[in-house]
Amino acid sequence: MAQPLKRDCGPPPLIHWAIKEIPEKPMVELLPSILSADFAHLAEEVAAAERGGGTVIHVDVMDGHFVPNITLGPPVVKSLRKATRLPLDCHLMIENAEEFIPAFADAGADWVSVHYEACRHLHRCLELIAQHGMKPAVVLNPATQVDLIRDILHMVHHVLIMSVNPGFGGQRFIEFSLDKIRRLAELRQEMGLAFRIEVDGGVAHDTVTRIVQAGADLLVAGNAVFGAGHPEQDARALLAEARVAAGE
Ligand code: DX5
Ligand code: ZN
């Protein structure tokens, strides 16, 4: 059963994972997005993407309000939790995200990201995610400027830059996202923080090198991994290109 929301009472928020020093450059990671997988065979699809080098599974949660599409919720996350040991990165494209944080925690989510554009009380929401033992992140739509989240950057495990408008897989990469990645990396350096930079949308062979060179290290890919029906090989090939671009 979902627990009631924890509000501003009790002990201070547990942002225990907040990184205060810049560690060595993080390894580039591939996060297969199950949005483009065969939902009738999710466990097999995820296992194949993992064999191909995926290290975190990206789970797109859509409510038909914030974005014009509906996908899945905590029950599917709960089933996925039993199917893989990889961390589950839940990208919430929903309104009233705060109300659902306890349910995602109960279901076994590891990372939870909420949209700047959908969260009226973003600071509270990030605290709530951390209080539930998950890694909080903020997502920016293509039209949202990076500098708007400056004041909460110390609270996040990662920032997710949307490089397409959220709602669907298989869209074309929006080129100016590269400038946003660079700006975010610059802010991270200036502020002495170590949050990671995730990119979601249109990550594929023709874009991955430039995305990594701009400074992203968490690469979400749906269509490029699952779209052609051979997730293991396609994940492996995409990750290999990303590693070359990162100089790994
Ligand atoms: C879109 C989702 C993405 C989607 C990306 O709203 O957030 O995670 O799966 O799909 P591709 O990689 O196909 O652009
Ligand atoms: Zn996503």
Ligand nearest to the CA of 36: 1
pTM of the complete model: 0.93
pLDDT band, very low/low/confident/very high, at 217 (cuts 50, 70, 90): very high
Residues 30 and 236: their CA atoms lie apart, in Å, by 9
- Give residue 22's pLDDT: 55
Q: Which of 31, 71, 223, 238 to mutate to test the pocket of ligand 1 (most atoms within 8 A of CB)?
A: 223
Q: Is the pLDDT of residue 6 over 60?
A: no
Q: What are the backbone dihedrals phi and psi of residue 164, each rounded to the nearest 5 degrees, phi first?
A: -145, 170
Question: What separation in angstroms does the CA of 71 have from each of 43, 91, 109, 159, 238?
Answer: 17, 11, 16, 22, 25
Q: Which of 30, 34, 35, 177 to mutate to test the pocket of ligand 1 (most atoms within 8 A of CB)?
A: 35
171-203 residue pLDDT tens: 999 999 999 999 999 999 999 999 999 999 999
Give the helix ranges, DSSP H, for the chain.
Answer: 42-51, 74-83, 101-107, 122-131, 177-191, 208-214, 223-226, 231-246
Query: For residues 5 and 53, which has the higher predicted lDDT (pLDDT)?
Result: 53
* Residue partners of 216: CB distance under 8 A and separation at least 6: 28, 161, 181, 197, 198, 199
pLDDT band, very low/low/confident/very high, at 4 (cuts 50, 70, 90): low
| Any atom of ligand 1 within 6 Å of the Cβ of 91 | yes
200 catalytic? Reply is yes
* Residue partners of 81: CB distance under 8 A and separation at least 6: 88, 107, 108
* Residue partners of 166: CB distance under 8 A and separation at least 6: 62, 66, 67, 93, 115, 139, 141, 200, 201
Atom of ligand 1 nearest to the CA of 222: 12
Per annotation, catalytic residue among 63, 89, 200, 217: 200
| Any atom of ligand 1 within 6 Å of the Cβ of 164 | yes
Average of pLDDT values for 154-164? Answer: 98
- Element at 32 (helix H, strand E): strand 29-32
SS3 237: helix
pLDDT band, very low/low/confident/very high, at 26 (cuts 50, 70, 90): confident
